[in-house]
Amino acid sequence: MNRLPLLTEHTADAKQLALLEDTRRQLGRVPNLYAALANGPQALACYLALRDALTRGGVRFRLSDFLDLGQAARSYWCW
């Protein structure tokens, strides 16, 4: 199975780098998921928009954690 490379500031193009820098500014770091999604800048932009919508929406942190745990329990990879 092919794997997506994790992009860094040294390997990203201008569009990818802008998204990664924005993520670093907001979170203080770039999680590996974001570095992998940056291979398709549109995918990362959509993911960031979804994350922003969920954090600004009416979903409480407790419910958000519950949803994260539910998804982790259904996943076959380590959370």
pLDDT string in tens for the chain (79-residue length):
688 899 999 999 999 999 999 999 988 999 999 999 999 999 999 999 988 887 787 767 677 778 778 777 777 665 4
Q: How far apart are CA 30 and CA 21, in angstroms?
A: 8
Residues 6+ apart with CB under 8 A from 59: 67
Q: What is the pTM of this model?
A: 0.68
Q: How many angstroms separate the Cα of 51 from the Cα of each of 33, 34, 45, 47, 55?
A: 13, 12, 10, 6, 6
What is residue 42's predicted lDDT score, i.e. its pLDDT? 95
What is residue 76's predicted lDDT score, i.e. its pLDDT? 66
